[in-house]
Amino acid sequence: MDSALQRSRIAHPAVEVAPLLLGAHLTHSDGGDPVTVRITEVEAYMGEVDPGSHAFRGQTARNATMFGEAGHLYVYFTYGMHYCANVVCGVPGKATGLLLRAGEITGGVETARRRRGNPRSDRDLARGPARLAQALGIDRALDGADVFAEPLRLELPDHPADPSHVLTGPRVGVSGPGGSTAYPWRYWLAGEPSVSTYRPAAKPRSVTKPQSHTSQSQTPQSQTSRTANQ
């Protein structure tokens, strides 16, 4: 399938594209052994109508890629140590994209292991967005790169994942209004061991009651439901 047709399939809001990206394969060839991940979990972000999105307050130098053409990577640096990768969806001017949250490494496993410091289990090679980016060798140098052109190659499945195999729930680690159950925009394939464990964002400690140390992140929750056609 040519790149123009592939790109047209994701030129829609991220919440519509999410089931199509589940089961897709993304390969990065950086001059060494290519590494391929089969995507098992994503999170949708809807730009200026989404308080959890980097683009909620409009375009900046950092998030400019999100406002561009579908089929490019938006890569950001977080916590001073990790990179995370998003596939831009929709149409130019409307920031919407899918964070690649987790996947299964299906090619270049030895290279992925080396990049990840040889974790105990291959299940953990790309289990979480920072691990996935590290296993693939993705950093800010690939911000704006076309996922349908070298050194990247995104291969979409012929059809979206079977709705009966797709689960949805709140996004992981998103604080404030965008992290509420009103935004069940995390999508994952049922039964996949590579899918990350859900943890809500930590509740900020009160400055008026320093004796309280309660945090939502201490109580993992399972807030899942079968996805509908969104």
pLDDT digits (tens, 9 = 90+) for 129-155: 999 999 999 999 999 999 999 999 999
CA atoms within 13 A on the CB side of 134: 19
For 67, other C-beta atoms within 10 Å of its C-beta total 22
Select from 31, 15, 1, 217 the least CA-distant residue to 141: 31
Which pLDDT score, from 0 to 100, does residue 198 have?
A: 72
């496993």: which residue's tokens?
A: 109
Which pLDDT score, from 0 to 100, does residue 218 have?
A: 30
């464990």: which residue's tokens?
A: 197
Name the DSSP letter for residue 72.
B
Which pLDDT score, from 0 to 100, does residue 10 have?
A: 98
Name the DSSP letter for residue 210.
T
Distance CA 167, CA 158 (A): 20
Which pLDDT score, from 0 to 100, does residue 82 have?
A: 94
Instruction: Domains for the chain: give ranges and CATH numbers.
Output: 3-226 (3.10.300.10)
Which pLDDT score, from 0 to 100, does residue 196 have?
A: 81
Continuous H helices in the chain: 3-9, 14-21, 109-115, 129-136
Which pLDDT score, from 0 to 100, does residue 174 have?
A: 84
Cβ–Cβ under 8 Å, residues 158 and 6: no
Whether the bond between 34 and the residue before it is cis, its omega within 30 degrees of 0, is: no
Could you say which residues of the chain have pLDDT below 70? 1, 199-230
């990247």: which residue's tokens?
A: 152
Cβ–Cβ under 8 Å, residues 136 and 39: no
Distance CA 50, CA 225 (A): 21
Distance CA 177, CA 32 (A): 42
